[in-house]
Amino acid sequence: MTEKTNHCWWQNAVGYQIYPKSFYDTNGDGIGDIDGIIAKLPYLKDLGIDFIWLNPIYPSPNVDNGYDISDFKDVAAPFGDLTRLKTLLDKAHALGIKVLMDLVINHTSDQHPWFIEAKKSKDNPYRDYYHWVDCSKKELPNDWKSFFGGSVWEYDSVSEQAYFHLFYKEQPDLNWHNPQMRQEIYEMIRFWLKFGIDGFRLDAISHLEKAPWDTKIVDNPWAPFMNVSGIEVYMQELKAIFDEYQILTVGEASGVTSKKAREWTDISTGYLTMIFELEHNIRVGHVGHQRIDVRGFKQVLARWQKDLMDVGWNALYVENHDNPRINSVLGNETEKSAKAIAMMYLGLKGTPFIYQGQELGMVNFPFKTIDEMDDLSDKARFKQLIAAGSTPKAALKEVSWYSRDNARVPVSWENKANSGFTSGVPWLDVRPNCSRINVADEAVDPNSVLNFYKRLIALRKSKRIFSQGDFRLLLAGDENVFSYLRSNKNEQLFILVNLSGQKVNITLPNRVINHHWQCIVSNTQSINLMRHIELKGYDGFIFERIDKKSSS
């Protein structure tokens, strides 16, 4: 056993993602702040949270809401300052809550001093901190497309070169081939570790290495910058620093397959503690109303469960700041479906993350005009659709269904003006239906989604089988039902959730009906586990086996 294996507190932990701008505002400027997080720590403690991950709070021109960083070692004024952050760490630690920061090292803002220097001339010492390639405006170095639309290249007529950006043009990618740049990044990481943070969520980490510029795109347009060979060198260097401080690391690692993720998250040799896979977010259906396809969704999750079972570790999530609300795209916006989804993913093996408001059952925002949205990629897509002949109504429908702003509207704290998020004007409008979905009311309702999450989190922590047991998918072909067994030597759990709003009839396998089970959580009345059973829409159950001795 390495030293790392002895420090597995996170295997039994539950994380909570905070989008600080929309969490809680204490000074009435309409923007959530560090003091707002401090104020709500007791709420998080009560919910059963062990660590929080803060989306970026660094100084930023906010082209991509904080993911375009202009100073890696400071806090943006609207959020507070380094002293307030230190206070947050101290208060969180006093409650036994750890704090993870977002680490964005694939790119900087174009307003970062490095890029301001780099842009000045070809022989500037910072030029090579970024990717610059000779070209003409008409003939860019290649035809690769950026994640946010358009070319990955931005032409600079002064130097007759273009620089590379995977996201907005205001987010130039760092050149990881440059050892000096890497040293500066590592020094910055140490600055935060010495500051006392407990870990990082590593943004866009699988994109650090790029394929040679003349690589032709065959099918997958993102292949030239997804986990490209060569990245191991940087990941090993990063790992060496993370290991020194024994911190928790969670990588946003799109393109790292479930097989590869074994290496990435191997408990003794992996680069990172765990990674977020992005595969399960795929949706199908009518434009403007795409939903998660249950069969595909559970097959992706089941594959990740299996591939990482004995080696590696999963980060479990159903929401974040980049996706619409799960209770709208998988649920039917009811309390019942929010609870069903909670059981479905909190029963899996891995470390669950809850995104702010998810524990309330918050749903998508009914945007009425494009002006209500803040995300530039939404505005760009809207324009594109109009230019292609869409009506404003149809374009809005399509854009708003996918909009990242659905999850970025402020948290509903109370049923009052601006949902108790701010005494001023919120930077993004707040939920119109906070009358039903809000912390204050849900806290006193024993049947609320909030209290359901609380019970489920407590249950998960009380039984090691949730973190340790094996996983076996049942009813793999069923289009609506996600059902699986969690087993260890002496215990077994059976999770059974109908992820559709319709009634479904299912046939249970012998390995279930040959044993005795007791329902330990449900969002409906318990049922007898017989060969043929009918589930109503979004019925969900967690059963515990009560004849533990016999083999299955």
Residue 466 contacts which entry, Ca ion, ligand GLC, none (Cβ below 5-8 A, type-dependent): none
Q: Is 252 a catalytic residue?
A: yes
CB of 195 to ligand GLC, least distance (A): 22
Residue 333 contacts which entry, ligand GLC, Ca ion, none (Cβ below 5-8 A, type-dependent): none
Sheet holding 132-134, edge to edge: 132-134, 161-164, 153-156
Q: For 332-450, list the strands marked E by DSSP.
A: 351-355
Residues in the chain: 552
- Identify the bridge partners of residue 98 per DSSP, sorted by sequence position: 51
Residue in 267, 442, 186 with CA at minimum distance from that of residue 339: 442
Binds ligand GLC by CB under 6 A, chosen from 37, 104, 343, 450: 104
Minimal CB distance to Ca ion: which residue? 33
| 25 touches Ca ion (CB under 5 A) | yes
Kindly state the helix (H) or strand (E) to which residue 295 belongs, with its residue range.
helix 294-307
Q: Would you say 67 or 517 has its CB closer to ligand GLC?
A: 67
User: Which pair of tokens denotes residue 441?
Assistant: 């009311």
Residue 290 contacts which entry, Ca ion, ligand GLC, none (Cβ below 5-8 A, type-dependent): none
- The residues, ordered by sequence, that sit 6+ positions from 43 with a Cβ below 8 Å of its Cβ are 439
From 24-32, 51-59, 146-154, 211-219, span contacting Ca ion (CB under 5 A):
24-32
CB of 245 to Ca ion, least distance (A): 31
CB of 303 to ligand GLC, least distance (A): 22
Q: Would you say 58 or 413 has its CB closer to ligand GLC?
A: 58
Catalytic residue among 154, 173, 203, 442: 203
Residue 322 contacts which entry, ligand GLC, Ca ion, none (Cβ below 5-8 A, type-dependent): ligand GLC
Residue 25 contacts which entry, Ca ion, ligand GLC, none (Cβ below 5-8 A, type-dependent): Ca ion
User: Which pair of tokens denotes residue 381?
Assistant: 């897509």
| 29 touches Ca ion (CB under 5 A) | yes
DSSP string over 510-542 = HHHHTS-EEEEEESS------SEEEE-TT-EEE
Over the window 31 to 50, marking each residue x when it contacts Ca ion by CB under 5 A and - when it does not, the resulting string is x-x-----------------
Binds ligand GLC by CB under 6 A, chosen from 209, 252, 319, 478: 252
User: Which pair of tokens denotes residue 113?
Assistant: 């001093």
Q: How many CA atoms lie within 13 A of 185 on its CB side?
A: 24
For the chain, report the end-to-end CA distance as a whole number of angstroms.
31
| 204 touches ligand GLC (CB under 6 A) | yes
Q: Would you say 356 or 403 has its CB closer to Ca ion?
A: 356
User: Which pair of tokens denotes residue 65?
Assistant: 């809401």
Binds ligand GLC by CB under 6 A, chosen from 16, 58, 67, 130: 67
What is the C-alpha separation between 353 and 522, in angstroms, rounded?
21
User: Which pair of tokens denotes residue 429?
Assistant: 């409008």
CB of 278 to ligand GLC, least distance (A): 9
What is the C-alpha separation between 237 and 271, in angstroms, rounded?
9
Coil, strand or helix at 130? strand
Binding positions for ligand GLC, 262-301, rule CB under 6 A: none
Q: Is 203 a catalytic residue?
A: yes
Kindly state the helix (H) or strand (E) to which residue 397 belongs, with its residue range.
helix 392-402
Site residues, ligand GLC (CB under 6 A): 64, 67, 104, 167, 203-204, 252, 321-322
Site residues, Ca ion (CB under 5 A): 25, 27, 29, 31, 33
- Residues with catalytic roles: 203, 252
